[in-house]
């Protein structure tokens, strides 16, 4: 009876669905996190009577045929890159992107990673780094006698130097964007890596056409909607229960056949 294996694929698919939803809920307070959605496809069909085949020597054609499906499979886990809320933090090195684009970070290996989490700090050399100590790229070094720092919407970084009237320009931030941002590979630590699916990055100054603007003293929150995720979780749970009911029903049918005398 195919229904056993078909229901099993349905249970496996809903298990994946619940895992994706649980990851979304777990990261509901993660800075710059983008929620994900599991997508499914039906499996191959077995043709018991092929549609469009001849049903007689006179050339009559079968109008619908008989196709038995083999179940469902997980096709993709899609990242939804919609804008999260901007919350004020009061920290001058907290930067939020309002619109498209990613901050660029240099990993210890020299590879460039990308992130929406703009919670930066200074290291011992007064360089701007992530919470893991990875350098912002292009980065800047804050002067030792700087008393304040400001970053405008276009990413220009200015520092107020002790004893000077006019602020000094110490850096210029740029953002990266991709033809298919959903194709970036998530590697944890709020970092994403370029892949053949994402396409090559295009960099520009914040506020350029197709790029977001920088908001200082603020962070972008996760775009997870708790009400939506709980609703999706309930639906996934019910779908799992219905597939398990199919397994129970099939078992009862097999038991009836076994008990026949």
The upper half-sphere exposure of residue 15, i.e. CA atoms within 13 Å in the direction of its Cβ, equals 9
Contact 249, 112 (CB under 8 A): no
Domain locations in the chain as residue ranges:
2-81+224-258, 86-218
Structure tokens at 82: 């919609």
> CA 246: distance to chain centroid?
33
Low-confidence ranges of the chain (pLDDT < 50): none
pLDDT value at position 161? 85
The torsion of the CA quartet 12, 13, 18, 20, rounded to 10 degrees, works out to 120
pLDDT value at position 187? 92
The upper half-sphere exposure of residue 107, i.e. CA atoms within 13 Å in the direction of its Cβ, equals 13
- The reported pTM is 0.85
Report pLDDT digits (tens) over 11-35.
999 999 999 999 999 999 999 999 9
pLDDT value at position 261? 66
pLDDT value at position 133? 92
């Amino acid at each position: 009876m195919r229904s056993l294996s078909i229901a099993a694929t349905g249970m496996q698919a809903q298990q994946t669905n619940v895992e994706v939803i649980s990851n979304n809920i777990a990261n509901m307070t993660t800075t710059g996190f983008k929620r994900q959605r599991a997508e499914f496809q039906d499996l191959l069909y077995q043709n018991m009577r092929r549609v469009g085949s001849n049903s007689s020597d006179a050339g009559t054609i079968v109008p619908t045929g008989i196709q038995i499906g083999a179940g469902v499979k997980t096709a993709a886990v899609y990242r939804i890159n919609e804008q999260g809320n901007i919350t004020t933090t009061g920290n001058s090195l907290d930067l939020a992107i309002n619109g498209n684009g990613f901050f660029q970070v240099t990993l210890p290996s020299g590879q460039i990673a990308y992130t929406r989490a703009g919670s930066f700090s200074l290291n011992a050399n007064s360089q701007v780094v992530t919470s893991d100590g990875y350098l912002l790229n292009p980065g800047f070094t804050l002067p030792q006698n700087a008393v304040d720092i400001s970053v405008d919407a276009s990413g220009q970084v200015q520092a107020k130097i002790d004893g000077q009237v006019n602020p000094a320009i110490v850096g210029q931030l740029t953002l990266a964007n991709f033809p298919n941002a959903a194709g970036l590979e998530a590697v944890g630590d709020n970092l994403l890596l370029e892949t053949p699916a994402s396409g090559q990055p295009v960099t520009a100054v914040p506020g350029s056409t197709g790029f977001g603007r920088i908001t200082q003293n603020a962070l972008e929150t996760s775009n997870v909607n708790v009400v939506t995720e709980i609703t999706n979780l309930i639906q996934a749970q019910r779908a799992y229960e219905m597939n398990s009911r199919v397994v129970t029903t099939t078992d009862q049918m097999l038991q009836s056949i076994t008990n026949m005398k």
